[in-house]
Amino acid sequence: MPTRRELLRTGAALLGGAMLPWRVHAADPPPKVLGGDATPGLPGHVVPVVIPNGSKLPYVMDKGVKVFHLVAQKVKREFAPGMVVDTWGYNGECHGPCIEVVEGDRVRILVTNELPERTSVHWHGILLPNGMDGVAGLNQPHIEPGETWAYEFTLRQHGTHMYHPHSDEMVQMAMGMMGFFIIHPKKPRRPKVDRDFAIFLQEWFVEPGTSTPNPMVMLDFNLFTFNARSWPGTAPLVAKTGDRIRVRIGNLSMDSHPIHLHGVQFNVTATDGGPIPRTAWWPETTVNVPVGATRDFECVFDEPGDWALHCHKSHHTMNPMGHDIPNMIGVDQKGVEKKIRKHLPGYMPMMEKGMGNMHEMGRPKNTLPMMTGDGPFGPIEMGGMFTLMKIRDELPKGYDVDPGWYSYPPGTSAYKLK
Amino acid sequence: MPTRRELLRTGAALLGGAMLPWRVHAADPPPKVLGGDATPGLPGHVVPVVIPNGSKLPYVMDKGVKVFHLVAQKVKREFAPGMVVDTWGYNGECHGPCIEVVEGDRVRILVTNELPERTSVHWHGILLPNGMDGVAGLNQPHIEPGETWAYEFTLRQHGTHMYHPHSDEMVQMAMGMMGFFIIHPKKPRRPKVDRDFAIFLQEWFVEPGTSTPNPMVMLDFNLFTFNARSWPGTAPLVAKTGDRIRVRIGNLSMDSHPIHLHGVQFNVTATDGGPIPRTAWWPETTVNVPVGATRDFECVFDEPGDWALHCHKSHHTMNPMGHDIPNMIGVDQKGVEKKIRKHLPGYMPMMEKGMGNMHEMGRPKNTLPMMTGDGPFGPIEMGGMFTLMKIRDELPKGYDVDPGWYSYPPGTSAYKLK
Amino acid sequence: MPTRRELLRTGAALLGGAMLPWRVHAADPPPKVLGGDATPGLPGHVVPVVIPNGSKLPYVMDKGVKVFHLVAQKVKREFAPGMVVDTWGYNGECHGPCIEVVEGDRVRILVTNELPERTSVHWHGILLPNGMDGVAGLNQPHIEPGETWAYEFTLRQHGTHMYHPHSDEMVQMAMGMMGFFIIHPKKPRRPKVDRDFAIFLQEWFVEPGTSTPNPMVMLDFNLFTFNARSWPGTAPLVAKTGDRIRVRIGNLSMDSHPIHLHGVQFNVTATDGGPIPRTAWWPETTVNVPVGATRDFECVFDEPGDWALHCHKSHHTMNPMGHDIPNMIGVDQKGVEKKIRKHLPGYMPMMEKGMGNMHEMGRPKNTLPMMTGDGPFGPIEMGGMFTLMKIRDELPKGYDVDPGWYSYPPGTSAYKLK
């Protein structure tokens, strides 16, 4: 089986030829992307975007037009070690690879449909002719299985945008079909950014022990992801003290997600409607990202360390659990387990003293522990939408190498008195 | 049975007389309002607000006071052809008619209660004496069935405001009782707006096959409306390329709704707290409207076309569906239908390949198809909070006539390659 | 049993000594705090924050360091008369007492764990060394039951911040563990504020008739609180016409809460990321407070009165009710009660005409009426996140005394016509 990178090369090569569909539905773990693989052709002033656990869509030039090829298809995605989900995505990836382009570019995007049902692609937030907007039935016919369609337009804006289906939209987005469409400005903008990350938020319902998301679920989700990875499967974001860091967040789930970054105050600087004027920037430590929108924020750390970055809805930093189990806080459960098991076959005694030991519980196959991830000081007891911003004064091996756990200088840590 | 317009005239005539209650609970389809019927007495610089599928409340003058008459009552409301809901509203309308007035006006608003229980009216966001604020029990007694009360105050602000009950508030708002209270500025404000629309968001739970909303439902709604109409029952918003367009959105539901407009970047320019200073405007393509708030946004299209305007929570652009049915994505259902029907009597095999064909399904009486609405290129597969912004370079018949489907100039549409 | 105030004094005395844990888990009703007890040591220009129904954490000085002592423990909290909840909190309080300090202060905070499981404290939004950030497992070991740990850092910012556990976070926050960490600016800031309030939002699920919150509930909460009190248990906020009033709101629940204030337009002036520049202030009558964030707003009333302050999600101004009961709006229930009771043992006929009489219903022990609270004009029919802003032209007895119901000047109230 070819590696992911080989697939990307193969895919790129196909673009100029017969436009054969991608044939491989990747199940290998997504890469831990720490540094940014530049999409070719970016101006010198641009810092390429880093898509943690994701990839970029390659292109070929055709008479001045950047030609991309998206293949909508079933994709096996590892959310974290031990759990593979049967998602839908593009080009063997879920979510789809990032399209990274430059203001002024003319792009042609071929879309091949390998799904069992029809689809279309809407270019969310992008200014274009109405016939290229991708609302199936309204702006174009649906793209039937096996068909390949072309969209072509010139980019007359810059910002953090998205692509997603606008045909059986509820199902196809719940299955994971979406990707970033990031347009860099043609001319340098101040202040210059040193590190630039992009994270897609998503929530899913996958019945524990199964592998297919249920798109009928509207509210009671049980998996929460950054770039379709759950903690501890999420790659860290690596940067240096003093770096100006941009984080772009996209949300096509069913809920606003308040994304909280420890250790710094940041400014919200852009939406999918474009850059926010500086006079209108809001300082935050938590950016509440609405559905159907993107938010860019920018910050500079003056304290190095391993800083948590996570959704602040506490159930969204958990992996699947049974929301229907009885409340046992403070209840002595000795002797009642057997009785309860008659009515709730999968019942495990727990919660008498809280849930801090849940990471030790057994669980169905292909299901993540509810609270998990080991840190330097024991279990971190998280899941879902959680990762780390690793800030260091020096990164001798560069941004591409995980610097490991932070080493705390003496006298700067909480300490035990008794 | 008198027509809606005759009712409005009758209602206005009654104001100066015996204040007889409105007697007719309209069930005829709401009008498809495209241009704005001006409320009389607006200054020349004001562009009247358009309430798609709604109406304005008439008034009579009494010694310099504009006298309005709201009658709280049961109302049959057609959400879309094929579905009539037993709502509560005002003056035969659900939601209630828009009160459109001018900064500096003195208004007297008579409220007659024809409901089976007591009510009151709160003037949300409006600066007034505490005794006129309408919180029953706190600022005034409840208005008992059969009673008529009067509120009177002078408007010393302008903006997009709302009225709604503050007595058994949860039930009465869930039943649809609310309306816009729009105060135009006395002096012209720049930039001048060419088109001005107002849309109320609401979500409901009506058990499929029945007709009464269930106000006890807190989360799991199944109907989502713009001005108490669901796609394909929603009127389009008609404007011209280059028009400065304002859209005012009110939300008294139980959720934030992220309202997304295709084809343009807009600025959020006001809330129910008043105009946002220009230095603080945020550019967006999606405005997340909180509960208990209004948002105005303004935009100018440079591309004509049929642009989608919708809530971006994908379940909110769906009509009723069974959220409790099993997940059949990828499951071959041949031969199991009968077995499943034993346990789920209404079960229909579906979703094996996605849900793109759901618009073809059978369904209970007085229930909308889940995904519906035909466009020029086939089914649009939407429902709920979805409508179209129809932008044209020319509108030879004016804003009051639906220009039909957009005609795509050659070379500006997505095209099939194979 | 010592009173709450005696406990606070005792606690302070312990700080300099053996750091014995707090031993008393208060169940007496929380105080109705109307004026601000100043934390000692605030600069003269600072108006102390008022925590309605809450308290401040005392400290002792140790060589220029303000030493505080938080004791994590089980706490019995009265949400409103007739309902006591078995929460978790700090120092006999739920939520924990407010830490009120000044920019430039060096603070040492001792944390003793008297819970049945381990914990830690994260200082949300505060700039500090990574080892003091409190994410257990990541930045420090968990604090085991019986242990006392110390955090120490210098405050180099000002604003409205929070503290909460970052160990079994979902459970411990759902049980009520959180508090304000308010840092006043060292130098006076303009405009000067006359009144300064802080309110924590929380939502809970306590099965009617029981007393322990269920932390597994993610969505379908049934109790909604301001500073862990439900209407009619909430203290009013007292101020004068012309006072510049700041309200700080913190939210560590699972939902955004749109907090609406009647009678005034306010500006949102700060978040937990710091002060919002004046050019970026938004006017609102409802501030939608995201999870994991704080919002400060400021306003000046020109109309005296009793103005409602509440969450605008209508189910959040209700106390517990059965969300699963059938919809009886418009249904004649004569004769069917007995039949329904066979299937729903606790069933009470209701809702035939709406729910405005629900405050008269019977209910399980230790459960609040769904809609309750008597005003000067009858039942206010509210619950949960609801309180009053009492604005008076004069307050002869000062801010510390509830001025009673507002007396409406003749001609300023809604009036009955017939």
Closest chain C C-alpha to B5 CA, distance in angstroms:
27
Q: Is the minimum CB–CB distance between B356 and chain A shorter than 8 Å?
A: yes
Closest CA to A57 of A46, A41, A45: A41
Residues of chain C in contact with residue A247, where contact means CB-CB under 8 angstroms, are: none
Could you say which DSSP state residue B393 is in? S
Report the neighbours of A using a cutoff of 3 or more CB pairs below 8 angstroms. B, C
Q: Which two tokens stand for residue B122?
A: 């709160």
For residue A349, how many other CB atoms are within 10 A of its CB?
14
What are the φ/ψ torsions at residue A14 (nearest 5 degrees)?
A: -65, -25
> What's the confidence (pLDDT) of residue A339?
59
**Alpha carbon of A371 to those of A45, A315, A317, A380, B244: distances in Å?**
42, 10, 8, 8, 51
> What's the confidence (pLDDT) of residue A19?
39
Q: Is the minimum CB–CB distance between A272 and chain B shorter than 8 Å?
A: yes
**What value does the mean pLDDT take over residues B109-123?**
97
- Ranking B38-42, B103-107, B248-252, C152-156 by mean pLDDT, the lowest is B38-42
Instruction: Find the largest Cα–Cα distance for chain A.
Output: 76
Q: Which residue has the higher pLDDT, B15 or C287?
A: C287
Q: Over 80: is that where the pLDDT of A252 sits?
A: yes
Q: Which residue has the higher pLDDT, A404 or C336?
A: A404
Q: Where are the beta strands (DSSP E) in A252-335?
A: 257-261, 266-271, 274-275, 282-284, 286-289, 293-300, 305-311
Closest chain C C-alpha to B291 CA, distance in angstroms:
6
> What's the confidence (pLDDT) of residue A35?
79
> What's the confidence (pLDDT) of residue A353?
75
Q: Dihedral of the CA atoms B342, B344, B346, B351 (nearest 10)?
A: -110
- Ranking A116-130, B338-352, C139-153 by mean pLDDT, the lowest is B338-352
Percent of chain B with pLDDT over 90: 76
- Ranking A24-28, A93-97, A111-115, B313-317 by mean pLDDT, the lowest is A24-28
- Split at pLDDT 50, 70, 90, the class of A354 is confident
Q: Over 70: is that where the pLDDT of C140 sits?
A: yes
**What value does the mean pLDDT take over residues A305-316?**
98
* Residue to test with chain C: of B130, B148, B178, most C Cβ within 10 A: B130
Q: Over 80: is that where the pLDDT of A37 sits?
A: no
Q: Is the minimum CB–CB distance between B332 and chain A shorter than 8 Å?
A: no
Closest chain C C-alpha to A299 CA, distance in angstroms:
11
- Split at pLDDT 50, 70, 90, the class of B109 is very high
- Split at pLDDT 50, 70, 90, the class of C21 is very low
- Ranking A397-406, B145-154, C30-39 by mean pLDDT, the lowest is C30-39
Angstrom distance (rounded) from CA B256 to CA B289: 5
Which residues 275-294 on chain C approach chain A with CB closer than 8 angstroms?
275-277, 279-280, 290-293
Residues of chain B in contact with residue C353, where contact means CB-CB under 8 angstroms, are: 116-117
Q: Over 60: is that where the pLDDT of C34 sits?
A: yes
C279–B274 CB contact, under 8 Å: no
**What value does the mean pLDDT take over residues A165-191?**
96
DSSP reduced 3-state for B67: strand
Q: Over 60: is that where the pLDDT of C213 sits?
A: yes
What are the φ/ψ torsions at residue A183 (nearest 5 degrees)?
A: -110, 115
C140–A353 CB contact, under 8 Å: no
Q: Over 80: is that where the pLDDT of B347 sits?
A: no
- B168-198 per-residue burial string, b: 16 or more CB within 10 A, e: under 16: bbbbbbbbbbbbbbbbbbeeeeeeebebbbb
B355–A171 CB contact, under 8 Å: yes
Residue of C116, C137, C171 lying closest to A378 (CB–CB): C137
- A179-212 per-residue burial string, b: 16 or more CB within 10 A, e: under 16: bbbbbbbeeeeeeebebbbbbbbbbbbbbbeebb
- Split at pLDDT 50, 70, 90, the class of C332 is low
Q: Which residue has the higher pLDDT, B112 or C333?
A: B112
A163 CA to centre of own chain: 14
Q: Is the minimum CB–CB distance between B333 and chain A shorter than 8 Å?
A: no
Give kind and range of the element (H or E) at residue C271: strand C266-271
Q: Where are the beta strands (DSSP E) in A120-273?
A: 122-124, 148-154, 159-164, 179-184, 195-204, 223-226, 237-240, 244-251, 257-261, 266-271
Residue of C172, C174, C273 lying closest to A283 (CB–CB): C273
> What's the confidence (pLDDT) of residue C353?
76
**What value does the mean pLDDT take over residues C81-96?**
94
Give kind and range of the element (H or E) at residue C110: strand C106-113
Q: Is the minimum CB–CB distance between A407 and chain C shorter than 8 Å?
A: no
Q: Dihedral of the CA atoms B166, B172, B174, B180 (nearest 10)?
A: -60
What does DSSP say about strands C244-251 and C195-204: parallel, antiparallel, or unpaired? parallel
* Residue to test with chain B: of C249, C301, C413, most B Cβ within 10 A: C413
C258–B217 CB contact, under 8 Å: no
Q: Over 50: is that where the pLDDT of B21 sits?
A: no
Q: Over 60: is that where the pLDDT of A332 sits?
A: yes
pLDDT in tens, C217-255: 999 999 999 999 999 999 999 999 999 999 999 999 999
ipTM: 0.91
> What's the confidence (pLDDT) of residue C363?
77
Angstrom distance (rounded) from CA C11 to CA C29: 19
Q: Over 50: is that where the pLDDT of A16 sits?
A: no
Cα angle A321, A323, A327; round to 5: 110
**Overall residue count recorded for chain B in this entry:** 418
Percent of chain C with pLDDT over 70: 84
Could you say which DSSP state residue C28 is in? S
Residues of chain C in contact with residue B132, where contact means CB-CB under 8 angstroms, are: 412-414
Measured on CA atoms in the order A315, A318, A323, A327, is the torsion positive or negative?
Answer: negative
pLDDT in tens, B363-398: 788 889 888 889 999 999 999 999 999 999 999 999
Q: For B409, which residue in chain A has the nearest alpha carbon? A: A131
Residues of chain B in contact with residue C350, where contact means CB-CB under 8 angstroms, are: none
> What's the confidence (pLDDT) of residue B343?
55
Which residues 147-166 on chain C approach chain A with CB closer than 8 angstroms?
147-151, 157, 166
What are the percentages of helix, strand and coil residues in chain C, rounded to 5? 10, 35, 55
> What's the confidence (pLDDT) of residue A298?
98
**What value does the mean pLDDT take over residues A296-306?**
98
C408–B277 CB contact, under 8 Å: no
Give kind and range of the element (H or E) at residue C311: strand C305-311
pLDDT in tens, B54-91: 999 999 999 999 999 999 999 999 999 999 999 999 99
Measured on CA atoms in the order A298, A302, A307, A312, is the torsion positive or negative?
Answer: negative
**What value does the mean pLDDT take over residues A360-366?**
73
Q: Over 50: is that where the pLDDT of B320 sits?
A: yes
- Split at pLDDT 50, 70, 90, the class of B240 is very high
A135–B308 CB contact, under 8 Å: yes
- Ranking A368-382, B1-15, B185-199 by mean pLDDT, the lowest is B1-15
Q: How far apart are the first and last CA of chain B?
A: 56
A168–B356 CB contact, under 8 Å: yes
Residue type, C298: E
Residue of C129, C134, C216 lying closest to A327 (CB–CB): C216
Percent of chain A with pLDDT over 70: 84
Q: Is the minimum CB–CB distance between C403 and chain B shorter than 8 Å?
A: no
10 Å CB burial of residue C418 (0-12, 13-18, 19+) is exposed
Closest chain B C-alpha to A373 CA, distance in angstroms:
30
**What value does the mean pLDDT take over residues C356-376?**
78
> What's the confidence (pLDDT) of residue A86?
95
> What's the confidence (pLDDT) of residue A31?
83
Give Cβ neighbours of residue B5 (< 8 Å, ≥ 6 apart): none
- Split at pLDDT 50, 70, 90, the class of B326 is low
How many cross-chain Cβ pairs, B to C, lie less than 8 Å apart? 219
Q: Over 70: is that where the pLDDT of A313 sits?
A: yes
Average pLDDT value for chain A? 88
Residues of chain C in contact with residue A269, where contact means CB-CB under 8 angstroms, are: none
Residues of chain C in contact with residue A354, where contact means CB-CB under 8 angstroms, are: 115-117, 168, 171-172
B354–A276 CB contact, under 8 Å: no
pLDDT in tens, A388-402: 999 999 999 999 999
Q: Over 80: is that where the pLDDT of A225 sits?
A: yes
Residue type, A294: T
Angstrom distance (rounded) from CA C33 to CA B330: 60
Q: Over 90: is that where the pLDDT of C24 sits?
A: no
Distinct helix (H) and strand (E) counts, chain C: 3, 24
Angstrom distance (rounded) from CA A206 to CA A249: 23
Asked whether the bond before B304 is cis by omega within 30 degrees of 0, the reply is no
Angstrom distance (rounded) from CA C341 to CA C319: 23
Q: Over 80: is that where the pLDDT of B327 sits?
A: no
* Residue to test with chain B: of C201, C218, C234, C285, most B Cβ within 10 A: C285
Q: Over 70: is that where the pLDDT of A358 sits?
A: no
Angstrom distance (rounded) from CA A314 to CA C291: 9
- Split at pLDDT 50, 70, 90, the class of A330 is confident
Q: Over 80: is that where the pLDDT of C295 sits?
A: yes
- B349-365 per-residue burial string, b: 16 or more CB within 10 A, e: under 16: ebbebbbbbbbeeebee
- Split at pLDDT 50, 70, 90, the class of B322 is low
Closest chain C C-alpha to A266 CA, distance in angstroms:
7
Angstrom distance (rounded) from CA A25 to CA A91: 8
Residues of chain A in contact with residue C290, where contact means CB-CB under 8 angstroms, are: 256, 258, 286, 288, 312
Percent of chain A with pLDDT over 90: 76
**What value does the mean pLDDT take over residues C90-116?**
96
* A284 close to A261: Cβ distance less than 8 angstroms: no
Distinct helix (H) and strand (E) counts, chain B: 3, 24
* Residue to test with chain A: of C14, C216, C223, most A Cβ within 10 A: C216
* C274 close to C295: Cβ distance less than 8 angstroms: no
Q: For B280, which residue in chain C has the nearest alpha carbon? A: C280
Which residues 200-229 on chain C approach chain B with CB closer than 8 angstroms?
219-220
A416 CA to centre of own chain: 37
What does DSSP say about strands A106-113 and A65-80: parallel, antiparallel, or unpaired? parallel
Q: Over 90: is that where the pLDDT of C6 sits?
A: no
Q: Over 90: is that where the pLDDT of C336 sits?
A: no
Give kind and range of the element (H or E) at residue C283: strand C282-284
Please name every residue paired with B87 in a beta bridge, in sequence order, or none if there are none.
B75
> What's the confidence (pLDDT) of residue C346?
47
